[in-house]
Amino acid sequence: MVLDNLGESLRGALKKIANAGFVDPALIKDVTRDIQRALIQSDVNVKLVLELSKRIEKRALEEKPAAGASNREHVIRIVHDELVRLLGPQREVQLKKQTIMMVGLYGQGKTTTTGKLAKYFTTKGLKVALIAADVHRPAAMDQLEQLAKQVNVPVHIERGEKDAVKIVRNGLAEFRPRYDIIIVDTAGRHKLDDDLIEEMKEIFKAAQPDEKFLVIDAAVGQQGGPQAKAFHDAVQVTGVIVTKLDGTAKGGGAMSAVAATQAPIVFIGTGEHLDEMEKFDATRFISRLLGMGDLQSLLEKAQEAVEGEEGDAEAMARKIMTGKFTLNDMYAQMEMLGKMGPLKKVLGMLPGGMGAKMKDADIEKQQVQLKRFRVMMDSMTEEELENPGLIKSSRINRIARGAGVEPKDVKELINYYNKSKAMMKQFAGNRRMQKKLMQQLDFGGGGFPGG
Ligand code: GDP
Ligand code: MG
């Protein structure tokens, strides 16, 4: 099972923004808190998280959206940028003579990545040699030998030898004078244990490696932080390599590993083959973690709904301003709400905020109600639709009969109408809110709602 709680939580937080009728300081606070919680639960350093969330909140409230960007896109962009910043400055491996030690739990991709690195450095014109220091899995040496053959580099192997440190010493003695890059592939365990950490410390002492690469599977999830910390304490990790990003895992745990080691991600693995390794690109990584593609299409959908109804929305807004509000208006408004139109924004700004907290499920429920209302409204005269105050008991019975419903259903519709109308009246009498509405609908310049 793929454990990627961090990515999921972050995506959930940003979906709140993408789905929101409009963005206000309360929403930003809410979302920032979600992000905070998600990162802290993934063992990202609390101090870093607090700094990050403070910056997100400040920027979201103070900075103006770029030209053509909505408030929603603006805030999502800020969260994205700040997470990229959390990953630290980009770092590349140096193309110089050096010893590299690979560490990580069993199955994370150490041996495969050793082969990929060998290929990478070879294509850069450096002379590479490998040392097989996994003495725990008999097949591990064969696997590395296979890879070395494919890349055409030498590998130091001592089959049957149980002392990994001895193998490393011998391998270094053999290769150091003549090779530029020496990569030591080490053993892992199914889970962290003292024995493994002790072995890593000893190899570290013997090899004095320049680079210590922690290899972690993108699916590592929340254990990423503690795992990384344990290896870091043992060998002082200098770089992280996240493997299997070609799968479904989004690499949330890798963020925790980076935070725990303060070591940047240098490469990512995107497949089993030797050339399926890429230099790490923080922007792309975070976009993937956050599901920016999905968010983008959500945002576009919302934008289309707004654009498609601009005319309707404007007419509706003007009507509300005049304080006139008929059953037909109410119906049109409910219809628009279902399409995520600007009326949701309008309702969100009303006192008692009937649209602000409106969830998708509520909107669905309302769409069912809308169908029932339509049937009843079809039994009304034009006069009644324009002036619902006329609808009293005898008319109620007539309408109910015509629509095949109970009189109480008609009364429910009238009640709903009266409530909506009362809210609209309140709105019509409030200039400050009207101004906000006009800004929201972009009839009077943009601007952040609520200032
Ligand atoms: P080690 O135990 O840490 O040395 O892990 P291995 O290098 O033996 O890799 C474990 C498994 O993961 C193997 O089946 C590899 O082919 C596979 N693997 C490693 N890196 C990647 C990657 O980036 N993508 C995919 N899809 N598979 C990978
Ligand atoms: Mg291995």
139-162 confidence digits (pLDDT tens): 999 999 999 999 999 999 999 999
Topology classification of domain 4-86: Four Helix Bundle (Hemerythrin (Met), subunit A) (1.20.120)
pLDDT at 341 over 80: no
pLDDT at 440 over 60: no
Q: Which of 117-126, 273-282, 416-425 has the lowest mean pLDDT?
A: 416-425
Percentage of the chain surpassing pLDDT 70?
80
Residue 343 confidence class, pLDDT cut points 50, 70, 90: very low
What's the mean pLDDT in 9-36?
A: 88
Residue 1 confidence class, pLDDT cut points 50, 70, 90: very low
Ligand 1: residue of 142, 243, 246 to mutate (most ligand atoms within 8 A of CB) is 243
246 lines ligand 1 (CB under 6 A): yes
* Residue of minimum CA distance from atom 5 in ligand 1: 109
DSSP state of 220: G
Cα–Cα distance, 238 to 265 (Å, whole number): 9
pLDDT at 360 over 70: no
Q: Report yes or no: 431 and 320 within 8 Å, Cβ to Cβ.
A: no
243 lines ligand 1 (CB under 6 A): yes
pLDDT at 437 over 80: no
Residue 346 confidence class, pLDDT cut points 50, 70, 90: very low
Rounded distance from Cα 185 to ligand 2 centre (Å):
7
Rounded distance from Cα 289 to ligand 2 centre (Å):
27
For residue 335, report the phi and psi dihedrals to the nearest 5 degrees: -65, -45
Q: State the closest ligand 1 atom to the C-alpha of 105, by its place in the atom list counted from 1.
A: 3
Residue 359 confidence class, pLDDT cut points 50, 70, 90: low
Q: State the closest ligand 1 atom to the C-alpha of 271, by its place in the atom list counted from 1.
A: 24
State the ligand closest to the CA atom of 219. Answer: 1
Residue 274 confidence class, pLDDT cut points 50, 70, 90: very high
Relative to beta strand 128-133, strand 211-217 is: unpaired
What was the pLDDT predicted at 431? 65
Cα–Cα distance, 336 to 366 (Å, whole number): 11
What was the pLDDT predicted at 290? 83
Q: State the closest ligand 1 atom to the C-alpha of 107, by its place in the atom list counted from 1.
A: 2
Domains of the chain, by residue range, sit at: 4-86, 98-288, 295-440
269 lines ligand 1 (CB under 6 A): yes
Q: State the closest ligand 1 atom to the C-alpha of 215, by its place in the atom list counted from 1.
A: 3
Residue 339 confidence class, pLDDT cut points 50, 70, 90: low
Topology classification of domain 295-440: 434 Repressor (Amino-terminal Domain) (1.10.260)
What was the pLDDT predicted at 225? 84
Rounded distance from Cα 249 to ligand 1 centre (Å):
14
State the ligand closest to the CA atom of 276. Answer: 1
Candidate CATH numbers 3.40.47.10, 3.40.50.300, 3.10.150.10, 3.50.50.60; the one for domain 98-288: 3.40.50.300
Residue with tokens 């940003």: 14
> DSSP for 273-296?
STT-EEE--HHHHHHHHHTHHHHH
251 lines ligand 1 (CB under 6 A): no
What's the mean pLDDT in 426-444?
A: 59
pLDDT at 438 over 90: no
Mean confidence (pLDDT) of the chain? 82
pLDDT at 296 over 80: no
What was the pLDDT predicted at 351? 43
User: Which residue pairs, CB below 8 angstroms and at least 24 apart, start in 333-337?
Assistant: 333/420, 334/366, 334/369, 334/370, 334/373, 335/370, 336/309, 336/312, 337/363, 337/366
What's the mean pLDDT in 428-436?
A: 65
What was the pLDDT predicted at 161? 94
